[in-house]
């Protein structure tokens, strides 16, 4: 048995996707003496070995099957999952936003099913090093098996440590030796300090979270740590298109939500972010504002008064401006012939 090859003629050890006459997909691994059985026929694995990728073979009843090596994205979408995976659209963004480069030293936590680990290993290449951390044994086992299934063996440049990132990272990576830290976990804000210690100045921290509550909390912790540049947040939506003849339109279905990405760069030691060159507004977020949302990041204040338009990032409008807007709206209504009664009747505001 060989190691799966990414290209060239098909060989033993390769994983293959076989698409049958009805479009059904079957994934197999080529082994000496193996056979692919469907209910209507058989294909010996030996018939597929030596063929170019993307060939067609015929089974014992004359049915045609298309053979394709799965792409990395095909593999991660079909591999066994212990925990929810990072989808290929987000993995691609992570590689780009975190600037994962060949030779990079990257820390990743948690590992979950290993989907993101596979993309990171691809990005760092043979000369990089990936240090992955997972606190649950059984998830680590799933990830190890998935990475081995894809790569043919455990990659030599991959270290998977079982334990909480906060406890285990300092023992594995000395301070200031890591280029990138990628966090996909429930509470990334708990790991901001340990990630900052591991990162070199200029290194990238990227966090993937599923909800806006996590997004807000993570961004605020990064900002308040004073150890990073201002965090940048985004989400990625990919809408497939059906393009066939004159039927050219967006697909009816899409994966509408997966998660948000938050990125920031590690500042050099003893460096303070220069204040932004913008006028301070009354809407600056005070500790009291944040207290209801992020109690352990702010003071003790609570109560309804903190949910003000300013606290929610809205620019307050003066009474004068509001009166002007009312006049403008009523002029528009008059121009369109609306009855005064339709907008409240009082026209001399």
Ligand X SMILES: C[S@@+](CC[C@H](N)C(=O)[O-])C[C@H]1O[C@@H](n2cnc3c(N)ncnc32)[C@H](O)[C@@H]1O
Chain residues that interact with ligand X, rule: CB under 6 A: 83-86, 109-116, 133-136, 139, 164-165, 184-186, 191
Strand 241-244 versus strand 178-184 pairing type: unpaired
Q: Identify the DSSP state of 26.
A: E
119/330 with CB nearer ligand X: 119
- Distance of closest approach, residue 161 Cβ to ligand X, in angstroms: 9
4/110 with CB nearer ligand X: 110
Strand ranges, E, within the chain: 15-19, 25-29, 35-38, 41-44, 56-58, 64-68, 105-109, 129-134, 158-162, 178-184, 199-209, 232-235, 241-244, 247-250, 260-265
- Distance of closest approach, residue 323 Cβ to ligand X, in angstroms: 51
The Cα 179–Cα 156 span in angstroms is 19
74/164 with CB nearer ligand X: 164
- Distance of closest approach, residue 127 Cβ to ligand X, in angstroms: 23
65/158 with CB nearer ligand X: 158
- Distance of closest approach, residue 108 Cβ to ligand X, in angstroms: 7
184/289 with CB nearer ligand X: 184
DSSP string, 55-120: -EEE-TTS-EEEEEPPPHHHHHHHS--SSPPPPHHHHHHHHHHTT--TT-EEEEE--TTSHHHHHH
1/186 with CB nearer ligand X: 186
- Distance of closest approach, residue 95 Cβ to ligand X, in angstroms: 13
Q: Tell me the three state secondary structure of residue 260.
A: strand
SS3 content of the chain, % helix, strand, coil (to 5): 30, 25, 45
- Nearest residue to ligand X on Cβ basis: 110
- Distance of closest approach, residue 343 Cβ to ligand X, in angstroms: 51
């Amino acid at each position: 048995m060989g190691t799966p090859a990414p290209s060239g003629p098909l060989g033993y050890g390769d994983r293959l996707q076989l698409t049958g006459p009805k479009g059904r997909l079957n994934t197999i691994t080529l082994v000496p003496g193996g056979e692919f059985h469907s209910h209507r026929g058989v294909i010996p694995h030996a018939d597929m070995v030596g063929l170019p990728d993307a060939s067609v073979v015929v089974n014992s009843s004359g049915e045609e099957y298309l053979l394709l090596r799965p792409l990395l994205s095909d593999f991660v979408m079909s591999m066994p999952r212990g925990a929810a995976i990072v989808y290929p659209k987000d993995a691609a963004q992570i590689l780009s936003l975190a600037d994962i480069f060949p030779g990079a030293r990257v820390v990743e936590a948690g590992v979950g099913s290993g989907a993101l680990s596979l993309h990171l290993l691809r990005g760092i290449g043979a000369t990089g090093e990936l240090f992955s951390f997972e606190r649950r044994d059984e998830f680590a086992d799933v990830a190890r098996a998935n990475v081995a299934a894809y790569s043919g063996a455990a990659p030599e440049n991959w270290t998977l440590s079982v334990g909480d990132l906060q406890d285990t990272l300092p023992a594995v990576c000395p301070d200031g030796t890591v280029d990138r830290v990628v966090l996909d976990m429930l509470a990334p804000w708990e790991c901001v300090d340990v990630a900052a210690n591991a990162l070199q100045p200029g290194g990238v921290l990227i966090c993937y979270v599923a909800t806006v509550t996590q997004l807000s909390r993570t961004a605020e912790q990064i900002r308040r740590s004073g150890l990073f540049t201002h965090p940048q947040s985004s989400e990625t939506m990919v809408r497939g298109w059906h393009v066939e003849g004159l039927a050219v339109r967006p697909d009816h279905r899409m994966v509408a939500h997966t998660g948000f990405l938050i990125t920031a760069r590690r500042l050099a030691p003893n460096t303070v972010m220069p204040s932004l060159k913008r006028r301070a507004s009354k809407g600056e977020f005070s500790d009291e504002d944040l207290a209801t949302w992020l109690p352990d990041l702010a003071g003790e204040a609570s109560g309804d008064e903190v949910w003000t338009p300013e606290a929610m990032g809205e620019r307050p409008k003066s009474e004068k401006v509001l009166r002007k807007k009312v006049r403008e709206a009523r002029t528009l209504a008059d121009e369109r012939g609306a009855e005064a009664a339709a907008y409240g009747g009082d026209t001399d505001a």
